[in-house]
């Protein structure tokens, strides 16, 4: 997605070769028009799949899931990281390790909102080690729903997440795939190059 790549080049800050800060437009202050365009891009990619629910994880995936769900005309669910006192019903639950926080927490979704009849699209802000998306995938598996695919806004392709998820056979669509980065340069995998390599 050229608009997103250009914005990452302009406003993204590579804090190191591994961590990209996007707090000024995606992760803290949010560019709402860009977020809606991101939702439309995911909807265009997966729109033929008869998605019934979009699933993400709190907090940084929520606005992308909302934008995608609006574009698809379906509800979205955000998996919770802490058990709220209002969450009294049965849960699908899985431990997930956080790359940015360096801790493991239980991610859960109420059984009331996901079932075997659903067709689920998972979206999240980053695909890095893949642990968050693998956790969400496990929740979909527990529910018996059909996983249509995974959408990542930013993929750090030099980390192992994509290959771990591809090994499960799921379709992955990332809107900006970073090949490498340093504080003064960010290089993307261009979609045409990626397609040629896979053929
Ligand atoms: P995972 O390593 O499980 O693929 O990524 C988990 C979460 O860590 C992502 O959803 C995202 O919120 C956060 N994350 C991973 N890498 C980065 C990064 O380079 N920058 C930012 N801002 N968040 C990241």
Ligand 1 close to Cβ of residue 181 (< 6 A): no
Question: 44-71: per-residue pLDDT in tens?
Answer: 999 999 999 999 999 999 999 999 999 9
pTM above 0.75, yes or no: yes
The CA 127 to ligand 1 mean position distance, Å, reads 6
Ligand 1 close to Cβ of residue 67 (< 6 A): no
Say which CATH number the domain at 99 has.
3.40.50.2020
Ligand 1 close to Cβ of residue 24 (< 6 A): no
- Residue (of 19, 54, 71, 70) closest to 124 by Cα position: 54
Domain-located, residue 2: no
Q: What percent of the chain has pLDDT over 90?
A: 86
Domain-located, residue 6: no
Averaged pLDDT for residues 145-164: 98
Range of the domain at 67: 38-198
Domain-located, residue 147: yes
DSSP code string of 108-144 = EEETTS--TT-EEEEEEEEESSSHHHHHHHHHHHHHT
- Helices marked H in 53-178 — which ranges? 62-72, 131-143, 161-166
Domain-located, residue 68: yes
Atom of ligand 1 nearest to the CA of 15: 19
15 pLDDT higher than 90: yes
CB atoms closer than 10 angstroms to residue 62 = 17
Question: 87-136: per-residue pLDDT in tens?
Answer: 667 999 999 988 777 889 899 999 999 999 999 999 999 999 999 999 99
- pLDDT at site 103: 86
């Amino acid at each position: 997605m050229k608009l997103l790549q250009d914005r990452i080049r302009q406003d993204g800050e590579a804090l190191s070769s591994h961590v990209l800060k996007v707090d000024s437009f995606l992760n803290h202050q949010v560019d709402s028009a860009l977020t809606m365009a991101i939702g439309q891009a995911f909807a265009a990619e997966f729109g033929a799949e008869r998605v019934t629910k979009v699933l993400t994880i709190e907090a940084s995936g929520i606005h992308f899931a909302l934008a995608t769900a609006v574009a698809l005309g379906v509800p979205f669910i955000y998996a919770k990281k802490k058990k709220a006192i209002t969450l009294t019903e049965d849960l699908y639950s899985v431990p997930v390790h956080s790359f940015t926080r360096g801790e493991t927490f239980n991610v859960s979704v109420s059984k009331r909102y996901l079932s075997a009849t659903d067709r689920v699209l998972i979206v999240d802000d980053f695909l890095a080690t893949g642990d968050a998306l693998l956790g969400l995938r496990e929740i979909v598996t527990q529910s018996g729903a059909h996983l249509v695919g995974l959408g990542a806004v930013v993929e750090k392709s030099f980390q192992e997440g994509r290959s771990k998820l591809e090994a499960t056979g799921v379709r992955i669509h990332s809107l900006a795939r970073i090949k490498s980065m340093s504080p003064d340069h960010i290089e993307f995998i261009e979609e045409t190059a990626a397609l040629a390599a896979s053929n």
